[in-house]
Amino acid sequence: MIRQDTLRVLLVEDDPAHLEQYLTNLAGDPSLANVGGYSTGKAALEAVAALAPDVALVDLGLPDMEGFDLIRGLRARSPSTDVLVVSVFASEYHLLSAIEAGATGYLLKDAGAPDFNAAIHAVHAGESPISPALARHLLRRCIGMAPANPEPHPAYAGLLSPREVEILESIARGESLAEIGRALYISPHTVKTHVKNIYRKLEAHSRPQAVQLAKQRGLIRP
């Protein structure tokens, strides 16, 4: 039986060697538990709602569907599940497409066991772990897309509440949900509820995308 304080992890990986490595990594951390391993996106989508994992590890190179479509499907069927991509693809296209689809972290498959397990905990805590080799892609894109001096657009006036703006600015500074909760004297669960409302209002699917959209619309400082 899985303890209540154990993070439930779903694995979606079609390479048996990598799947075995992931299972070995999980077995080395008593606070993590595997609740299912699938080699196709279709099978994972059919199971995710019933399994309700805390974190889903997703390979992008699946045999039956685009990994980005799988991410969107997982998020739609189990909104509370965070998606951590573990892939061999190190391009800017794959990173940004995964984030836009709803992934909250992206690791390359050369990450060792300690990084692998730490990333699962980090994603569940509200952080967005990204392999250092990929972080520069995201930084360059965000800098290039942000307006130099954005002006608040009248159409978005009052879209976010003052507390939501405060939380989004904290996210933009790289603070985790736990850190934001401590600073604002509210629980991480309350912070996560605010974040979900921010996603809905901005029509965003990830923290980086929400920050980017808010900056473009002048809702938070660049």
Cα–Cα distance measured from residue 143 to residue 137, given in angstroms and rounded to the nearest whole number:
10
pLDDT score of 7: 94
Instruction: Give ranges for CATH 3.40.50.2300 in the chain.
Output: 7-133
Q: Work out the angle at residue 165's Cα, subtended by the Cα atoms of residues 194 and 180, and round it to the nearest 5 degrees.
A: 60
Q: Which residues contact 28 (CB under 8 A, 6 or more apart)?
A: 113, 117
119 exposed, middle or buried (CB, 10 Å; 0-12, 13-18, 19+)? buried
pLDDT score of 105: 92
Cα–Cα distance measured from residue 186 to residue 183, given in angstroms and rounded to the nearest whole number:
8
- What residues form DSSP beta bridges with 84? 57, 105
Q: Is 60 helix (H, G, I), strand (E, B) or coil?
A: coil
Helices (H), 159-220: 162-172, 177-184, 188-202, 207-216
Instruction: Give ranges for CATH 1.10.10.10 in the chain.
Output: 146-216
Right CATH for 7-133 from 3.40.50.2300, 2.60.120.680, 3.60.15.10, 3.90.420.10: 3.40.50.2300
pTM (predicted TM-score)? 0.63
* CATH code for the part of the protein at 146-216: 1.10.10.10
* Residue keyed to tokens 């897309």: 145
pLDDT score of 222: 67
Cα–Cα distance measured from residue 85 to residue 36, given in angstroms and rounded to the nearest whole number:
16
Q: Which residues contact 198 (CB under 8 A, 6 or more apart)?
A: 160, 164, 167, 168, 204, 210
pLDDT score of 182: 85
pLDDT score of 84: 96
Residues of the chain scoring pLDDT < 70: 1-4, 111-114, 137-157, 222
pLDDT score of 140: 65
